[in-house]
Structure 1
């Protein structure tokens, strides 16, 4: 017990707890109602059900490399493009690393889109999986 009550050890214990909490923080919200698809599953779903890849990255990033047939609709212009998106087909949202697409998913769900998911790992996972990229 003296070990825990020592001032130096107490600081070390607090720092260790804070570090552990900070490492777990990104994963805490990940599983909550945000369907994420692995690259192979996303390709299958889009091909089988004539779905759509929506790349929410800025246009300059989109031009450097994107999924072939993906549409570039940035997060800040998504609401103005709602009328052009099919509500009866799956939509897979793509961002750089799979972190920002959850906000776009929330926006689409608010407007009645039910078949929306995020590409797990984003475009980085797509490229790491050896999938083709198109440059425009």
Structure 2
């Protein structure tokens, strides 16, 4: 009951808090690389020469991945970032299963100077759109 009284009396402070939390969340989202839809990703690959970094586990990668994707599991990216230096001049699209690891990997790569984009919805969204996958 006291909570609702506080909110009604201090509506301006509560509104400011909500706006600041939203701005913080939005800022953190873009620090990890701009999200890209599956259609944007196909355009980036075909026109801009972007490369896909698949950060899923080996079994998930073998079950199906985007053509010419570079595979480095999310837990190994920090140690193996030097393998990606040849892709610094083109957009690097981070793809994972559902989008849960792409943010952390994207943030790390952006700090290293990469042009990072994140596949929105991850590989699940790619497969749901019936886009091509390479098995093996």
Tell me the TM-score normalized by structure 1. 0.73
Which digits, 9 at most, give the CA deviation of each residue in 1:65-93, with x for residues without a partner? 11121111111211233222211110000
Q: Which residue of 2 aligns with 1:38?
A: 37
Greater percentage in helix: 2
Q: Which residue of 1 aligns with 2:74?
A: 75
Q: Which residue of 1 aligns with 2:20?
A: none
SS at match of 2:67: coil
Q: Which residue of 2 aligns with 1:121?
A: 121
Unaligned runs of 5+ in 1: 6-27
Rg: which structure is higher? 1
Instruction: Give how far 1:30 is off.
Output: 6.1
Unaligned runs of 5+ in 2: 3-23
Instruction: Give how far 1:99 is off.
Output: 2.1
Distance 1:52 1:80, change over 3 A: same
Q: Which residue of 1 aligns with 2:50?
A: 51
Aligned mates of 2:128, 2:111 — CA distance in 1: 32
Q: Which residue of 2 aligns with 1:134?
A: 134
Number of aligned residue pairs: give it: 111
Which digits, 9 at most, give the CA deviation of each residue in 1:21-66, with x for residues without a partner? xxxxxxx846631410000101101221211001000111111111
Q: Output the aligned Cα RMSD.
A: 2.0
